[in-house]
């Protein structure tokens, strides 16, 4: 599983990244977390507002910091 966290590196984006990392750790899932800071790449992915989280090419949220429970639900397939 590939999780992308997008954001140029402001406070909110860092917060989102650490929440995603914590969620991955907690749910014991083998996932690679990538940080995307290049805005050309963001454009290519269709992201307009950051922070944004993409799980396996599916955009899960944009423009806000997700909660840890939310992220766990996304990566475990909503079984929690």
Partner 1 sequence: MSKCCCSSKDDHKESILQDYVKNKDIMCGKEHKKEISRFKYFGIALLASAIWTGLYSVLVPASQWITYGILELSHGTPVADSVEFFIYDTSKILMLLVFMVYLIGWLRAGLHVERVRTYLAGKGRGIGYLLGAGFGSITPFCSCSSIPLFLGFTMARIPIGITMSFLITSPLINEIAVVLLWGLLGWKVTAIYITIGVFAGVLGGIVMDAIKAERWLQPFILHAIKNEPTSQASGFEPQANNISLMDRHEFAYSEAKNIFQRVWLWVLFGVGLGAALHGFVPQEWFAENLGAGQWWSVPLAVAVGIPLYTNVTGIIPIMESLLMKGLPLGTTLAFCMSTVAASLPEVIMLKQVMRWKFVAIFLGMLLIIFTLVGWFFNAMSGAIL
Binding site for partner 1 (CB under 8 A): 6-10, 12-13, 39-40, 42-43, 45-51, 58-63
Choice between 1 and 38, CB closer to partner 1: 38
Taking the least distance from each CB to partner 1, the nearer of 29 and 45 is 45
Cis peptide before 80 (omega within 30 of 0): no
Q: Evaluate whether 45 touches 6 at the Cβ level (below 8 Å).
A: yes
Residue among 33 and 45 whose Cβ is closer to partner 1 = 45
3-state helix/strand/coil string of 44-69: HHCCCCCCEEEECCEEEEECCCCCHH
Smallest gap from Cβ 79 to partner 1, in A, equals 12
């Amino acid at each position: 599983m590939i999780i992308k966290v997008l954001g140029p590196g402001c406070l909110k984006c860092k917060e989102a990244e650490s929440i995603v990392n914590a969620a991955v750790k907690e749910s014991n899932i083998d996932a690679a977390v990538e940080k995307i800071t290049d805005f050309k790449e963001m454009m290519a992915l269709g992201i307009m507002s950051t922070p944004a989280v993409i799980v396996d090419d599916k955009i899960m949220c944009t423009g806000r910091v997700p909660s840890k429970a939310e992220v766990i639900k996304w990566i475990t397939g909503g079984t929690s």
